[in-house]
Every structure is written in C-alpha cells, then in structure tokens.
C-alpha cells in the first residue's frame, strides 16, 4: 500500500466538535483539504456557518450542525439529522473544551478560593462535552461495525500545572476515558473501533493568551517558565498538530488504540535538570 493511500482521508465522514477554535479551525481546514467530509458541530451558529462557508469556498465539503456538547438532548437531535443526511460517520473528533477564571488558582489565592460552580462548568465542558457527543454519535459508527474516536487532551492532564486546577483535572479525566473506552469498544464491538487522544503542549490560543503573554506581546513569567521547560524553546503552532491528526484519523494508525499522543516540543520529556 502506498503512503498516500495509507494516510488518505478521502471521503471519510468526520464529525468535529470544537472546530471553530484556534486549533480546531486549523485542523478542520486541513482535514477538508485532504478530502474528508466535515460535519461541524457547534453551539454558535455564526461561527459554525463561517467555518462551513470557508471550507466549501476552498472546494472542501462541510456541513454545519448546532448543538451544545453539554446538552444530551440537543446532541441526540443532531445525531438523527446527521444519520438522515449522511447515514454514518467514520471519525468523531472531540475538541470542545476550555477553562474559566473561577477554576484557576492565581498566585495570590489558595485552594479555598476555588469557585466550585466554575469548576463544575469546566468539568462539564471538557469531560461531559466529550462523553455526551460520543454517546450520541457512536450509534452512527456501530451501524457499520467500525469507528474512530479522537479526543483532545492536554499536557496538563499528565503533569498537573499550577493554577489551572479545574482544567487539569478535566483533561486527566479525558485521558482515563480514552483508555477505558478503547478497551470497552474493542471488547464489545470488535477490533475496528479505536479511541485515541492528542495531548497538545503549549499553543497560544485566545483562552491562555493572557496567562502566557503581556498586552505588548512579551512573555509573562509563566510564559517564560513554560518556554524554558520546552526543549524546542517555543510554543506550538496550530500546524504542528496536523501530522498526528492525519495519522490518527487515517488507516495508517489501524492498530493504534488507547494512546495519548503528546505534541509538546519535548515538554513531557524534560525534567528541568
């Protein structure tokens, strides 16, 4: 089998939540350029429609669906529409997630300052926002006897970071879910079901920009610490995720399941000494 065939995404139906963010958009545009058919899920119609239009204007194929990833009922309704229009899906990418100020412990705070309601929202968005789309859309894979689920984790999952207590806990749950579900699906539904995750290192996004950079663009103390502890001595660029994304979405990774793939510039390998 040629390399181009092995890594091909041509005609794969990929449902994608969280595709309108900084990293998600870059991934979505790449998948479309590689011939995938994108089913974009989001709760903000304007953002979803904008991305769908951009994909289609570039000769790609995309459809938009509106659902809140924490709302099981809305996801079930969307799943029925997708089934009626597309029949099945080949890949589900769960990229919806984020953080909230109240679930962050600043240097001038301690654990008792944690906002439990903010923590609940962060856990709901990152963890339930992955579980519920899987629950709603898995039947569209089961009907054809195969499927591929790709979750988005974080370096904060395996190496708990100071401050981002809620986000780190939620992403640790994603790692556990990825491994657990890989075994569950393989044992009960067969070897053509796979579940993996990508764990990005530090990428500048709208969510973490104020933590890592000053208003003038220079690095904060935290930004400098992270860069120093990244052997490649830089933050990631969205394009850095595309190789792992292509591999995990394609048949090139047919015997890969239950893995968390770091894309972190060496951050997870560096002890600091």
What amino acid positions are annotated as catalytic residues?
167
The H or E element spanning position 117 is: helix 116-123
Cβ burial 240-265 (10 Å sphere, 16+ → b, else e): bbbebbbbbbbebbeeebbbbbbbbb
Residue 254 CB contacts under 8 Å (≥ 6 apart), including other chains = 194
Question: Could you report how far apart the first and last alpha carbons of the chain are, in Å?
Answer: 44
The H or E element spanning position 200 is: strand 193-200
Give the C-alpha separation, 155 to 270, whole Å. Answer: 12
Main-chain phi, psi angles of 106, to 5 degrees: -75, 165
What CA–CA distances, in Å, run from 82 to 33, 66, 137, 140, 271? 21, 11, 9, 9, 46
The H or E element spanning position 185 is: helix 165-189
Give the C-alpha separation, 221 to 223, whole Å. Answer: 5
Structural contact between residues 245 and 33, judged by C-beta atoms closer than 8 angstroms? no
């Amino acid at each position: 089998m040629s390399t181009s065939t092995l890594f091909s995404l041509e005609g794969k139906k990929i449902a994608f939540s969280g595709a309108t963010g900084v990293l998600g958009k870059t991934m979505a545009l790449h998948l479309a350029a590689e011939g995938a058919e994108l089913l974009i899920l989001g709760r903000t119609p304007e953002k979803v429609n904008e991305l769908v239009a951009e994909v289609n204007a570039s000769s790609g194929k995309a459809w938009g669906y509106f659902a809140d990833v924490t709302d099981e009922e809305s996801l079930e309704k969307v799943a029925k529409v997708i089934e009626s229009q597309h029949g099945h899906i080949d890949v589900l990418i769960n990229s919806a997630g984020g953080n909230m100020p109240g679930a962050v412990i600043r240097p001038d705070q301690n654990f008792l300052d944690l906002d439990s309601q903010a923590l609940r929202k962060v856990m709901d968005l990152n963890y339930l926002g992955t579980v519920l789309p899987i629950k709603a859309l898995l039947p569209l894979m089961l009907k054809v006897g195969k499927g591929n689920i790709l979750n988005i984790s974080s370096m904060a999952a395996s190496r708990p970071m100071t401050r981002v207590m809620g986000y780190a806990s939620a992403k640790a749950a994603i790692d556990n879910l990825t491994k657990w579900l890989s075994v569950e699906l393989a044992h009960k539904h067969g070897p053509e079901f796979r579940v993996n995750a990508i764990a990005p290192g530090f990428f500048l996004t709208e969510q973490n920009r104020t933590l890592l950079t000053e208003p003038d663009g220079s690095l904060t103390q935290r930004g400098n610490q992270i860069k120093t502890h990244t052997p490649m001595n830089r933050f990631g660029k969205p394009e850095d995720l595309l190789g792992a994304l292509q591999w995990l979405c394609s048949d090139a990774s047919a015997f890969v399941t239950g893995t968390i793939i770091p894309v972190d510039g060496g951050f997870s390998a560096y002890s600091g000494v």
